[in-house]
Copies of this chain bind each other. A is one copy, B any other.
Amino acid sequence: MEALPANNLFFFMLTIKSRSHEYTVESFESLKAALAATDRSRAHYLIDKAIGCHYGHVIADYSEASRTVVVDATEENKSFENLAPVFIGLLQLGLKRDGVLVVIGGGVLQDIGCFIASVLSRGLCWELIPTTLLAQADSCIGSKSSINIGAYKNQIGTFYPPHRVLLTPEVLTTLPPDEIRSGLGEVIKLQLIKSQADFDELMADLSRFDQSNQASILTKWIARSMAVKRPYIEADEYDRGARNLLNYGHTFGHAYESATQYGIPHGIAVILGILTATFLSARLGLIPESHYLELKQKLSPWHRPYGAILQNADRSVIFEAIKHDKKNIGEAVNCILTRGPGSMEKMRVDFTGQIQPAINQFIAKEMNA
């Protein structure tokens, strides 16, 4: 993959090791080609309702309606309580342990599909065609599922990667701009984790990002994102050590999503979370303030106007969400902070003395743009 041919950006393949099985990521020039490559004779399909708008005809040609369950990709449907009809629907259509569940959609469908595949018959074969930039560049590998229950967000889940990931840049062409920016949030995060040089190269590409070069720039950075993520998930699939660093921006980002009733797209909330973590890192003396100010300026086009929206969010909901983040143990909050690109660190930070005042200042002053 490192030897990605410059003239043929759409084709690459990589293999990823997992505790449960090894799997491949392959790219295809079209959704039709990806669908044709799935294990169609054994397939049942779980499809995001929204993907039908643009690609219904292609999907219909390459899947069986009698073996398809369509799901509306909402946060409410990503709940334990609402999964029962999806499980039952697939069982009624005859999905058994020798079947393959083909999941077509973005992050919510991936969460639902991953969870179902991991517990149906104690683990089914599943294939994933991710249809958002965020899913293609980030979540499709190292697959975790996150399911809500009652008032508790993402408390239920499994580690169970697809047996095969089929990527195609075609589906990115019809995404709305905020979906692209949301995916770029995770791409930015991964390159900041990698190094200053990689982050600078990404920013240079994004500064000339337009309709004409979108496909090639995105495809390049999807591959580069996977190259950053792969060693972390292979070394620490269950997220108990090194992989924690990939949560950079997430403790704060999740809280911002939660306090805005998921009004901020996930990856954009991650950008705001990265800025918060960097602001906090500067306050704690880990980096010079200039580093934060530079990052703030560079990331500004990629989160506007959501930063301003944060100012209207209920601050107490943000604080509660951080305190109850499932990654926290005890009173202090585990944060991924930064000593600069390529140098992230997990630290326990005092909630009342440090985090609360930093967030108050960040939202009130820094996002006042």
| Residues in chain A within 8 A of chain B (CB atoms) | 19-20, 80-81, 83-84, 87-88, 91, 96-98, 115, 118-123, 144, 147, 149-150, 152, 155-159, 238-239, 326-327, 329
Residue of B nearest to A81 (CB): B84
Residues A152 and B91 in contact, CB atoms below 8 Å apart: yes
Q: Which residues of B contact A156 (CB under 8 A)?
A: 87, 119-120
Given the interface pairs A97-B326, A150-B84, A152-B91, the reply to whether A144 lies near B157 with Cβ below 8 Å is no
Q: Which residues of B contact A150 (CB under 8 A)?
A: 84, 87-88, 91
Q: How many copies does the complex hold?
A: 2
A218 → chain B, closest Cβ, in Å? 30
Residues B119 and A157 in contact, CB atoms below 8 Å apart: yes
Given the interface pairs A84-B81, A84-B150, A150-B91, the reply to whether A326 lies near B158 with Cβ below 8 Å is no
A32 → chain B, closest Cβ, in Å? 30
A80 → chain B, closest Cβ, in Å? 6
Residue of B nearest to A99 (CB): B329
Docked pose: A115 CA to B158 CA in angstroms: 11
> Most B CB atoms within 10 A — which of A20, A84, A97, A155?
A155
Docked pose: A238 CA to B123 CA in angstroms: 9
- Closest CB pairs A-B (n = 5): A88-B150, A122-B157, A98-B329, A119-B156, A91-B152
Q: Which residues of B contact A97 (CB under 8 A)?
A: 326-327, 329
Given the interface pairs A91-B150, A149-B84, the reply to whether A144 lies near B122 with Cβ below 8 Å is yes
Given contacts A87-B149, A119-B158, 12 further A-B contacts (CB under 8 A): A87-B155, A87-B156, A88-B149, A91-B149, A91-B155, A97-B327, A98-B329, A120-B155, A120-B156, A122-B159, A123-B238, A158-B158
Q: Which residues of B contact A96 (CB under 8 A)?
A: 326, 329
Docked pose: A160 CA to B98 CA in angstroms: 21
Docked pose: A326 CA to B329 CA in angstroms: 40
Q: Which residues of B contact A157 (CB under 8 A)?
A: 119, 121-122
A153 → chain B, closest Cβ, in Å? 11
Docked pose: A19 CA to B123 CA in angstroms: 14
Q: Which residues of B contact A149 (CB under 8 A)?
A: 84, 87-88, 91
Residue of B nearest to A150 (CB): B88
Docked pose: A20 CA to B118 CA in angstroms: 14
A251 → chain B, closest Cβ, in Å? 14
A250 → chain B, closest Cβ, in Å? 15
Docked pose: A88 CA to B151 CA in angstroms: 9
